Structures are given as structure tokens and as C-alpha cells.
Amino acid sequence: MSHITLIRHGQANSGAKDEVSYDRLSDLGHEQAAWLGHYLREAGSHHTRLFTGTLIRHRETADGMATGLVAERDARLNELEYFTLATLLEEQHGVPFPTEQGSFTSHLPTVFEYWKSGKLEGTPETWQHFHDRIEGALRDIAAGDGPALVVTSGGLISMVMAQAMGLSVPAMARMALAIMHTSMHRLFPIGGHWSPVLFNAVPHLETPDRRLAQTHI
């Protein structure tokens, strides 16, 4: 098993309320990706493989990092469809979509709980399918040679951490809310299992002039 570094995409269109309009980087998102790439080059970080989901924000982030690696696209690394799930939750159970950022702290775990328990009809995929496709993607990546970078999304990263650490749905939701754009999360194989050895690292955003670029939404 090779170690894997998961990277959340750069800031996307944070004012969106649907999957399509959200799926592009903001100007800041492009900057975050470039800064991360520069940091990795300056630090002499060694990765031999690069994987991304097929979403635009994943591809734009990987391109902006300019690693020199040829990215392999894998739809199994795509994010859960949060906006779609939120719309179903509102239509079927009357839980409104948040109108302010602070409300996401209670909304996200509610979406997760209703989704996992099967209380949402017509979802793009089941909770179990989301769980299994991620598990399969990481298993296949780990079977390759050399350390890998994986550009993906916050919800997927939180599921990976939940799988590795046996987290509950509320704990997974809190983790998802904490994950910053272009943050790094490393999994290392210990005893045949994944162990998180890095979480939410943003060394490329730690200088005083970039601290406002440590974004979550």
C-alpha cells in the first residue's frame, strides 16, 4: 500500500445553490491551487502519481497546481451531491436550505442523517454506494506504485477519515465542515489499515498575507 495525500479543491462558487453553478473555481480558488503547487515544489515533495475526480473544480485545481504529473480522472473521487440532497430534504421534509453560513453546522449533519437512514427518496446514489465507491477507489490507488496525490472534495475526504477512524455521522459532519480549501490530508498504511497522519494542513496559506485565504465555503 502506497501512502495517499488527499487534497480538497480550491474555493468554488460559494454563492451557488445547485451542483452545476457551484462547480467552478473562484478567483481565490485558482490562487489557492497555484500557491499549493508552488509550496509542494519548493518543499521537494515527492509524488509519482496524480488522481482527480471528474468535476471541473477538481480538474482546475490539479491544473493550477502544475505538478508536472499527468492526472488520472476517476469519477469515484467525485463529491456527494449536497445541493441535490438538500433540495430533496426541503421538498420531502420541509427543512430549508441555509440562508447564512452559520446554519450549515446543523444543516449538514441533518442531510447526512436523513440520507444514511434512507429517509430521502430519489437520491443520486445511496449512502452505502458513496461509501463503497470511495473505498474501492482508494484501494485501487493504493495498489499502485509510489505516493499519490488525490484532488477531490471535502465530503469525500470526511468519509475517508470516517472509514479510517470509525467515526459516527455527526463526527463525520463536523470534520467535513472543518476542511479548508486546498488542504492536505495524508493516509499512511499501518498494519494493513489506513492511518491518518496529516489532517487539514495548509502550510501554503499560513503567512500573514494569506490567512484570509483559509476558506471553508
Distance from chain centroid for Cα 59: 13
Q: What is the pLDDT of residue 61?
A: 98
57 touches 12 (CB < 8 A): yes
Dist CA 104 CA 144 (whole Å): 37
> ∠ at Cα 71 (193, 189), nearest 5°?
10
> What's the whole-model pTM score?
0.95
Angle at 73 between CA 12 and CA 202, to 5 degrees: 45
* H helix or E strand, kind and range, residue 85: helix 82-93
| pLDDT for the residue numbered 15 | 80
Could you tell me the sign of the dihedral formed by the alpha carbons of 30, 33, 82, 114, in that order? negative
How would you write the pLDDT of the chain (217 residues) with one tens digit per residue?
A: 678 999 999 999 988 888 999 999 999 999 999 999 999 999 998 999 999 999 999 999 999 999 999 999 999 999 999 999 999 999 999 999 988 877 889 999 999 999 999 999 999 999 999 999 999 999 999 999 999 999 999 999 999 999 999 999 999 999 999 999 999 999 998 888 889 999 999 999 999 999 999 999 8
The Cβ-side half-sphere exposure at 5, using a 13 Å CA radius, reads 20
For residue 149, the model assigns a pLDDT of 98
The CATH code belonging to domain 4-84+126-213 is: 3.40.50.1240
